[in-house]
Structure 1
Amino acid sequence: MEYRRTLLNFSFVVPGLLAGMARPGTTGSLEQDLIFLQMQGIKALLSLSEAEVDEQTVLQRGFDFLHIPVADFTAPTLKQVEQAMEFVERKIDLEGKPVVIFCGAGCGRTGTFLACYFVKKGKLPEEAIHHVRSIRPCSIETGSQRELIYKYAEHLRVSGRDGKVES
């Protein structure tokens, strides 16, 4: 199992609730990777990969699934981040379903969305980036991905959804 964990670049950033990984089915069979995810307690998958994952197989295995394609080595749009955060928070906070986020290698796009999750939960952008990288060192690969995390924090602040209480 450790071999598969390493092969998939799988790790939890919120123990038992939120994880990142490489695209399932890339280094082995999709079926084997989905079984591994079930063994980790994962119930929902968020795909950021441009490449399609066989959604039918994912759903037949009992997972919830959302695909938000983001080009490799680019930053998502704020709309894409909002869509992803709504899915992740609904699954974790309302339905109690652990989520895994993945892209191609599980680094840039995955790390960007994971950092945005922590910003949404009240961390400053730099703290969120540091936290994600301390667990997943390859996370957030480009300047545009880093800038997006700051932009998302500002977007939350301006819209009054940053979790901070005005004094």
Structure 2
Amino acid sequence: MGDPSEELYFTWLIPNKLAACKGPRNIDDLKFLKAAGVDCLIRLADIDETLVSPKDVADACLEDYHEPVPDYCPPSQAQLDRLILYIDKKINEGKRVAVSCRAGVGRTGTALACYLVYKGLDWESALAEVRRNRPSSVKTPQQENAVKRYAQRLNGR
């Protein structure tokens, strides 16, 4: 078994506040996330991709937020609104949040970029920052467009 941080592609986007990773596969992955300092786990994997149950997440002493999104698709704008508000609320409570999907790049990267937009970056800078931290993030034109649309809505355009 290799390094869990590499196997989970775990990285902090905002140190000790907001992280990203692949979807946890088992209780050991969940224990690694807890040991890394994560308090809340957002799971964007669709139900048929999910390898851990809500009970597994709770047993690892992590708060579970499951917002299923089909693979290679972006979260809807309504989902992004919910996700961003949840992330911001938890960070403001002093909790550390990890966002995951199957590979930890497409759906996860889309949500991370939108959070950076919410915190004040323009959409292109947000995408660049996520991709600098997590190469190959935001996999499809539809996911990239979702970040752009989120920024336009946030800025009232």
Report the Cα distance in structure 2 between the residues aligned to 1:2 and 1:129, rounded to whole angstroms: 29
AA of the residue aligned to 1:43: D
TM-score (norm 2): 0.94
What is residue 42 of structure 1 aligned with on the other side?
38
Moved over 3 A (4+): none
Aligned-residue identity in percent: 36
Report the Cα distance in structure 2 between the residues aligned to 1:120 and 1:89, rounded to whole angstroms: 9
What is residue 64 of structure 1 aligned with on the other side?
63
Q: CA deviation at 1:7?
A: 0.7
What is residue 77 of structure 1 aligned with on the other side?
76
**In structure 2, do the counterparts of structure 1 residues 140 and 35 end up closer, same or farther at CA, with 3 Å as the change threshold?**
same
Mapped contact 2:34–2:61 kept (Cα < 8 A): no
AA of the residue aligned to 2:35: M
Structure with more of its chain in strand, by fraction:
2
**1:22 maps onto 2:54 in alignment:** no
Q: Give the root-mean-square deviation of aligned CA atoms.
A: 1.4
What is residue 163 of structure 1 aligned with on the other side?
none
**1:115 maps onto 2:113 in alignment:** yes
Deviations 1:131-161 (A, max 9, x none): 00001002000001001101000111118xx
What is residue 146 of structure 1 aligned with on the other side?
144
What is residue 122 of structure 2 aligned with on the other side?
124
**In structure 2, do the counterparts of structure 1 residues 5 and 42 end up closer, same or farther at CA, with 3 Å as the change threshold?**
same
Structure 2 stretches lacking a partner, 5+ long: none
Mapped contact 2:20–2:104 kept (Cα < 8 A): yes
TM-score (norm 1): 0.88
Report the Cα distance in structure 2 between the residues aligned to 1:149 and 1:61, rounded to whole angstroms: 32
AA of the residue aligned to 1:42: V
- The higher radius of gyration belongs to 1
Structure 1 stretches lacking a partner, 5+ long: 160-167
